[in-house]
Amino acid sequence: MKDQLFLIAQSLKYNELPDVKADENLLKTGLTITFTIMGAIAVMMVVIGAIKYGSSQGDPSAISSAKNTILYAIIGLVVSIFAVSIVSFVVGRVA
Protein backbone atom coordinates (compact mmCIF):
# COMPACT_ATOMS: atom_id res chain seq x y z
CA MET A 1 0.00 0.00 0.00
CA LYS A 2 2.81 2.40 0.86
CA ASP A 3 4.51 1.67 -2.45
CA GLN A 4 1.34 2.47 -4.35
CA LEU A 5 0.89 5.76 -2.54
CA PHE A 6 4.53 6.61 -3.18
CA LEU A 7 4.13 5.94 -6.91
CA ILE A 8 0.96 8.03 -7.05
CA ALA A 9 2.69 10.89 -5.23
CA GLN A 10 5.64 10.72 -7.64
CA SER A 11 3.37 10.76 -10.67
CA LEU A 12 1.71 14.02 -9.64
CA LYS A 13 3.17 17.11 -11.20
CA TYR A 14 3.40 20.23 -9.10
CA ASN A 15 2.02 22.44 -11.85
CA GLU A 16 -1.20 20.37 -11.82
CA LEU A 17 -2.06 21.36 -8.29
CA PRO A 18 -4.77 24.02 -7.94
CA ASP A 19 -3.63 27.58 -7.52
CA VAL A 20 -5.31 29.14 -4.49
CA LYS A 21 -5.94 32.87 -4.73
CA ALA A 22 -7.08 33.46 -1.13
CA ASP A 23 -5.62 36.36 0.78
CA GLU A 24 -6.17 37.72 4.28
CA ASN A 25 -8.96 40.08 3.20
CA LEU A 26 -10.97 37.26 1.64
CA LEU A 27 -10.48 35.11 4.74
CA LYS A 28 -11.40 37.93 7.11
CA THR A 29 -14.46 38.86 5.05
CA GLY A 30 -15.70 35.29 4.81
CA LEU A 31 -15.27 34.57 8.50
CA THR A 32 -16.78 37.90 9.52
CA ILE A 33 -19.86 37.20 7.38
CA THR A 34 -20.15 33.72 8.88
CA PHE A 35 -19.93 34.98 12.45
CA THR A 36 -22.30 37.86 11.71
CA ILE A 37 -24.88 35.39 10.46
CA MET A 38 -24.33 33.34 13.62
CA GLY A 39 -24.96 36.48 15.67
CA ALA A 40 -28.15 37.27 13.78
CA ILE A 41 -29.41 33.74 14.36
CA ALA A 42 -28.60 34.09 18.07
CA VAL A 43 -30.61 37.32 18.27
CA MET A 44 -33.52 35.63 16.51
CA MET A 45 -33.33 32.78 19.02
CA VAL A 46 -33.52 35.29 21.90
CA VAL A 47 -36.69 36.69 20.35
CA ILE A 48 -38.11 33.17 19.90
CA GLY A 49 -37.24 32.39 23.53
CA ALA A 50 -39.00 35.55 24.66
CA ILE A 51 -42.10 34.61 22.68
CA LYS A 52 -42.00 31.11 24.20
CA TYR A 53 -41.63 32.64 27.66
CA GLY A 54 -44.55 34.99 27.11
CA SER A 55 -46.80 32.23 25.83
CA SER A 56 -45.87 29.65 28.48
CA GLN A 57 -48.92 30.57 30.64
CA GLY A 58 -47.20 29.54 33.87
CA ASP A 59 -46.25 26.00 32.76
CA PRO A 60 -42.96 25.26 34.58
CA SER A 61 -41.55 23.05 31.81
CA ALA A 62 -42.36 25.65 29.12
CA ILE A 63 -40.80 28.41 31.23
CA SER A 64 -37.67 26.30 31.74
CA SER A 65 -37.45 25.58 28.01
CA ALA A 66 -37.83 29.27 27.16
CA LYS A 67 -35.15 30.28 29.69
CA ASN A 68 -32.78 27.68 28.25
CA THR A 69 -33.42 28.96 24.73
CA ILE A 70 -32.61 32.51 25.81
CA LEU A 71 -29.54 31.42 27.79
CA TYR A 72 -28.04 29.38 24.96
CA ALA A 73 -28.81 32.10 22.43
CA ILE A 74 -26.98 34.67 24.55
CA ILE A 75 -24.04 32.30 24.91
CA GLY A 76 -24.02 31.89 21.12
CA LEU A 77 -24.13 35.65 20.66
CA VAL A 78 -21.15 36.14 23.00
CA VAL A 79 -19.18 33.40 21.23
CA SER A 80 -19.97 35.03 17.89
CA ILE A 81 -18.75 38.43 19.10
CA PHE A 82 -15.54 36.94 20.47
CA ALA A 83 -14.99 34.97 17.25
CA VAL A 84 -15.18 38.13 15.13
CA SER A 85 -12.76 39.87 17.49
CA ILE A 86 -10.31 36.97 17.45
CA VAL A 87 -10.38 36.69 13.65
CA SER A 88 -9.80 40.43 13.27
CA PHE A 89 -6.94 40.33 15.75
CA VAL A 90 -5.23 37.29 14.25
CA VAL A 91 -5.57 38.43 10.64
CA GLY A 92 -4.31 41.87 11.64
CA ARG A 93 -1.22 40.36 13.27
CA VAL A 94 -0.47 37.85 10.54
CA ALA A 95 -0.91 40.24 7.62
Number of Cβ atoms within 10 Å of the Cβ of 45: 17
Q: What pTM does this model have? A: 0.65
Backbone CA torsion sign across 10, 11, 14, 20: negative
Give residue-wise pLDDT tens across range 12-41. Answer: 655 566 666 767 778 778 888 888 898 889
**From CA 95, how far away is CA 91, in angstroms rounded?**
6
Who has greater pLDDT, 66 or 2? 66
Give residue-wise pLDDT tens across range 45-55. Answer: 999 999 999 99
